[in-house]
Amino acid sequence: MIVHIPEVLDKDQIAHCRGVMERAAWIDGRATAGHQSMRVKYNLQLPEDSLEHEKLGDMVCQALQKNPLFISAVLPHTIFPPLFNRYDAGMKFGTHVDNSIRQSRDGTRIRTDVSATLFLSGPDDYDGGELTVEDTYGSHSVKLPAGDLVVYPSDSLHYVTPITRGSRIASFFWIQSLIRDTRQRALLFDLDASIMRLTREVPDNPALVSLTATYHNLLRLWAEV
């Protein structure tokens, strides 16, 4: 399930991120790559122990916690502290799958159920650099406006095409969901979306109570807390 979540950050927040990054020191992105990813990863990254990384990561997490579509699509249990990368001309990230377990600097471990990319550069700022996610239905190319987020299953093969002009800047991170199974998570997302639509269109329909009960009973049945 690939979900586009628009306007996670507003224009002022994006401008703040870009300003901080212009003054920051970048390191080789392979610092956080796994054994397989290290062989195909060519980008730059903010150091995890930098003040810039910490402050910007906190801002992203606060925005995520206020976003209803993100909560509905992901049902987060734990969000890995957001990382930040930059692709300049000639850089890319070859086909790979994300590590199943990630450990943050404080020792917290999460199971990576959902991967996320938050775009901080607009599509006119660079050529190339499409995030391409492969699933049962083929390859899906993603290049979103600055401030928009895409989430997708962490077990998906994916890659970032080479940059031919400009710089692509983004935040990326992983989420351990309350719902481990991708299919169950997708069913709950669809059911929640239907409930929200009915609430807007026919708010007094008594079926809403039954549908809402079904949603929460399925969540109660499947959730790992």
Could you report the per-residue pLDDT of 1-35, keeping only the tens digit for each?
999 999 999 999 999 999 999 898 999 988 776 67
Average pLDDT over residues 82-100: 95
Domain 182-222 falls under CATH 1.25.40: no
Contacts of 90 (CB under 8 A, 6+ apart): 42, 162, 163
Tokens representing 73? 């699509």
Q: Is the pLDDT of residue 37 over 90?
A: no
Q: Is the pLDDT of residue 39 over 90?
A: no
Q: How far apart are CA 33 and CA 204, in angstroms?
A: 51
Q: How far apart are CA 206 and CA 210, in angstroms?
A: 7
> Amino acid identity of 211?
L
**Domains of the chain: which residue ranges?**
3-177, 182-222
Tokens representing 215? 């949603």
How many residues would you count in the chain?
225
Q: How far apart are CA 183 and CA 178, in angstroms?
A: 13
Q: Which range among 25-29, 35-39, 67-71 has the greatest average pLDDT?
A: 67-71
Question: Which of 130, 101, 105, 94 minimizes the C-alpha distance to 31?
Answer: 105
Query: Which pTM value belongs to this model?
Result: 0.94
| CATH, range 3-177 | 2.60.120.620
Q: How far is CA 63 from CA 77, 126, 221, in A?
A: 16, 25, 29
Q: Is the pLDDT of residue 63 over 80?
A: yes
